[in-house]
Chains A and B, each alone.
Chain A
Amino acid sequence: IVLTQSPATLSLSPGERATLSCRASQSVSSNYLAWCQQKPGQAPRLLIYGASRRATGIPDRFSGSGSGTDFTLTISRLEPEDFAVYYCQQYGGPPYTFGQGTKLEI
């Protein structure tokens, strides 16, 4: 399954709302779609799984939605620490694939 994220880069300010999109080339089974965040020089961190379930310790300003082939990650009010690269990933079956990433910049 090929995942296409848009936009490639999103420029916003702290306090604004961010909406990131992930589109799959075919339906993702059981909505097995996750989002992770990666900051420079760090490993990725799981944010959302099952399309809409927050991982442990993830603030509620992060939310996920969508089904089938179209998914969205929303960050309601951006904090300075939220500026990073975000990847969607499907785990409906191997090979597990990632989108190419959306860079969220100030």
Chain B
Amino acid sequence: EVQLVESGGTVVQPGRSLRLSCVVSGFSFDDYAMHWVRQAPGKGLEWVSSITWNSYSRRYAGSVEGRFTISRDNAKNSLFLQMDSLRPEDTAFYYCAKDMRGGYDYGLFDFWGQGTLVSVSS
């Protein structure tokens, strides 16, 4: 069974940093690109970032470019999102999602975690 479990969400002040983690099981993690997608409470979905299987290519939404960094540790079946200079508009549930196609960034999400809530507030 494919499982993705996010953690690290909490309440944080504007301007501070936070690191999210996602541990996966049930598939060969190092064969697939991975993504972060977020959803502000009661709002729609927004793709945030993606990373290829070998970490060679990382992409970001314009709204987080230069502030967020995606990374992965294939030995630990883990995906990370380092979030710096947080803003109130970054408040959202953050989901990690598996790319359906394979190791390269295809942008199609076939399995999602349950999400972790980041709240940016003073």
Contact = CB atoms under 8 A, between A and B. Distances in A.
Interface of A: 32, 34, 36, 42-46, 49, 55-56, 87, 89, 91-101
Given A94-B50, A94-B59, A99-B44, A43 B114 contact: yes
Contacts, number: 56
Nearest to A91: B107
Given A49-B100, A91-B106, A98 B115 contact: no
A87 B50 CA distance: 20
Given A89-B45, A93-B107, A94-B105, 4 more contacts: A32-B107, A49-B108, A96-B47, A98-B46
Interface of B: 35, 44-47, 50, 59, 61-62, 95, 100, 105-115
A77 B111 CA distance: 25
Contacts of A98: 44-47
Contacts of A87: 44-45
A45 B109 CA distance: 9
Contact of B107 (A36, A45, A94, A99): A94
B107 A43 contact: no
B80 to A, nearest CB: 19
Contacts of A91: 106-108
B107 A96 contact: yes
A101 B44 CA distance: 7
Contacts of B115: 43
Q: Considering residues B35, B45, B111, which has the most beta carbons from chain A within 10 angstroms of its beta carbon?
A: B45
Nearest to A94: B59
A6 to B, nearest CB: 14
B112 A43 contact: yes
Contacts of B107: 32, 91-94, 96
Contacts of B45: 44, 87, 89, 98, 101
